[in-house]
Structure 1
Amino acid sequence: MTRAARPVLVVAERLDPSADMVVDELNQRDVPVIRFDAAEFPQQLTLTAGHAPTATGWTGLLDDGRRTARLEDVRAVYWRRPGRPVIADAVPEPYATWARNQADCALLNVVAALPGARWINDPHHDRIAAHKPQQLVVATHCGLRVPRSLITNDPDAARDFAEQVAGPLICKPVLGGRLPVNEGRELMVATHYVDPATFDDTVRTTAHYFQEAIEKAYEVRLVAVADRVFGCTLHTSSEKARTDWRTDYEHIAYGTVDVPKAVATGVRRFLAHYGIVFGSFDFAVTPAGEWVFFENNPAGTWAWVENRTGLPIAAAHADYLRGACA
């Protein structure tokens, strides 16, 4: 197989617009793509991988019934929030859970062991990079400004923090995700303002993540792909959107902004620290023009950024995945 014919694996849910856009860009570059969802393994996807004592990596096949990819030929992997393996209904519990964990581990770790393959992002690094408390430490080390923050289940500590800040406070989840509610509905737990006068023993029920509220001229979703950074501005026109723009998309105006050199350098250092090449970063820009880092989602959404601004994010993904062997 010629180097130009080496495939890219795209591992994502079937209904993922970001993955769709990257596949389209790779097709335009005549780069072969094998796309599948990890949820298809082991029922619709077959993995056969072998390793010899002196081999430099695993060899074998991935076969989805339509196309096959030789593991040793894979040039890059775009691992984009795939589902977990689905085990046949005929397998009862607890064996189904055991089988799901076996399949999950086998597929992920065989693919992760492919020699020389580029990744967006290696999921082992991705998981570590998603930890919000550690992100603040790393961002500070990389030269980015962060808000004053407190994680506690102690109401007295929360009140002391409020006195130190002497200004508005917000509370946000330590761990992202949605809260299941009735009839299969899910509720997003949004960032919200809190009144220190209400702090009582209910603070002890779990860990609370408090931060000083940053005065914002606007916010930025900064999407980084390898050494390229793309800045999408979010100008909000409602109180809900100003507090957490994810709660009121109808009151957001989108635009673009050149990322300051110091911020871009800090973001690249941040990615390098975690060994990842992609991130969706959230910043506030103060009225004085200072950029304040909130968090990074190493598997964050970005298709909406490109759709609203025209920033060539999918092309940047495809260029990286194709690599110098195109």
Structure 2
Amino acid sequence: MSDGRPVLVLSSAHDVTADVVLRLLAERRVPVARFDPGADLHRGAVLSASYPRGGQRGTLRTATREIDTTRIRSVWVRRPSPYEGPSGLSGQDRGFAAAQALWGAGGILASLPCAHYVNHPWRNRTAEFKPAQLVVAERCGFHVPATMITNDPGEARRFVAGQAGGVVYKPLWNTPYRIDGRPHSVWVRRVGADEVTDAVSVCPHLFQAEVAKAFDVRVTAVGSRLFGARIDSPEIDWRHRQDLMTCASIAVPAAVARSIAAYLAAFGLVYGAFDFAVTSSDVWHFLECNPNGQWAWQPPDITAAVAHAIADELEKGPDS
């Protein structure tokens, strides 16, 4: 039976992945509040904080409930909407309101005094930078493919030409992109030295030695619990055509598990979605870790196990 302290879930009302965990918490009679600050603050929700001697006090009031923010046991930072400002404003006014919401509401929600975060939003942001991921992954003992990040076309060509097994290009961030008004994804793809043009000078590009992989692995980490999924796909980037891939559970080697634990500790993360390329000789090469990666696309047994692990983490709160 719950002690009455609520779990705060920061996500949009249409996040079906969050629904899976919320149902589990409801079955356990853990009180839950769902709040999407980027949207709900424009729909009548109110968030207030005061700072008297002795620390922060606050209230979150939505259409259905009022919460003392000092009693929030856990915060799940899932997929909240961006802070964009009220639709009734435009131009500088809307931009100003959006910035104030980010730094005000975002600051309050990231500073709840007694809450356990999965993950803390500031730690999420730090861990999303791919250059930082590569440095920390190497330090934690992962096998990391040779990588070059540069806006120098000459450096890029020399790096690509010097990798006997070939090179792939990866975007450093999944920036929204449109072609003829339609959303367009930039996938990982092979690139040769003759394809590297002077356009590289426009911004930094990430080039990485291609791993001669036998298959991919996604490891979803929730605290000390690891859930491995082997991914077989004809695509170099399995996300491109998920209808072509097959997935099955796989054990995580002890050495990889130790490196994952060290990596999470280095960034202060509770949750992480790790991607590996595994060779025929069973060498696991670290590719990246999304600190807020999706997980409900995996086989039902893995999805259910991850959902229960997240629910456990949120229910236990900060005291364990």
Q: By the TM > 0.5 criterion, same fold?
A: yes
State the secondary structure of the residue aligned to 1:107. helix
Which residue identity does 2:310 align to in structure 1?
Answer: H
Which residue of structure 2 aligns with residue 307 of structure 1?
A: 300
CA distance in 2, matches of 1:154, 1:90: 43
Partner of 2:14: 15
Structure 1 contact 279–297 (Cα < 8 Å) conserved? yes
TM-score normalised by L of structure 2: 0.93
Deviation at 1:202, TM superposition (A): 3.1
- Kept in 1, the 8 Å contact 2:143–2:286? The answer is yes
Shift of residue 234, structure 1, vs aligned partner: 0.5
Unaligned runs of 5+ in 1: none
Distance in 2, Cα, partners of 1:51 & 1:296: 36
Identity of aligned pairs, percent? Answer: 35
Higher helix share: 1
SS in 1 for 2:184: strand
Structural RMSD (CA)? 1.9
Structure 1 counterpart of 2:203, from 206, 216, 221: 206
Give, as a single letter, the amino acid of the residue that structure 1 aligns with 2:47. L
Counterpart in the other structure of 2:26? 27
CA contact (8 A) 2:296 2:303 kept: no
Q: Give, in whole Å, the separation in 1 of the partners of 2:17 and 2:170.
A: 26
State the 1:133 CA deviation: 1.1
| Pair 1:297 & 2:296 matched | no
Quick one: which of 259, 266, 291 aligns to 1:266? 259
Q: Which is worse superposed, 254-263 or 37-46?
A: 37-46
Q: Deviations over 1:84-108 (max 9, x none)?
A: 3454444343222111211222212
Greater Cα offset, 186-195 or 16-25: 16-25
Instruction: Report the Cα distance in structure 2 between the residues aligned to 1:273 and 1:169, rounded to whole angstroms.
Output: 28
After TM superposition, what 4+ stretches of structure 1 lie above 3 angstroms from structure 2? 85-93, 306-311
Q: Which of 169, 186, 197 is matched with 1:189 structurally?
A: 186
Residues 168 and 311 (structure 1 numbering): CA distance in 2 closer, same or farther, change over 3 Å? Answer: farther
Give the distance between the partners of 2:28 and 2:75, measured in 1 at CA.
Answer: 16
Q: Could you tell me how far apart the structure 2 residues matched to 1:199 and 1:306 are? A: 38
Aligned to 2:110: 112
The residue that corresponds to 1:44 in the other structure is: 44
Cα distance in 2 for residues equivalent to 1:304 and 1:79: 19
Correspondences of 1:163-182 after superposition (within 5 Å): 163-182=161-180
8 Å CA contact 1:285, 1:292 repeated in 2: yes
Distance 1:148 1:51 in 2: 49
Establish whether residue 215 from structure 1 lines up as the match of residue 212 from structure 2. yes
2:196 and 2:47 map into 1 onto residues whose CA distance is: 54
CA deviation digits over 1:42-99, x for unaligned, max 9? 432111222212x23x223211111121111100000112013454444343222111
Letter matched to residue 224 of structure 2: D
Q: Which runs of 5+ in 2 are unaligned?
A: none
Q: For residue 185 of structure 2, what is the amino acid of its counterpart? A: M
Aligned in 2, Cα 1:316/1:162: closer, same or farther, shift over 3 Å? same
Equivalent of residue 316 in structure 1, options 298, 304, 309: 309
Aligned twin of 1:124: 122
SS at match of 2:285: strand
| Matches for 1:78-93 after TM superposition, within 5 Å | 78-85=76-83, 87-93=85-91
| TM-score normalised to structure 1 length | 0.92
Look up the SS of the partner of 1:13 in the other structure.
Answer: coil
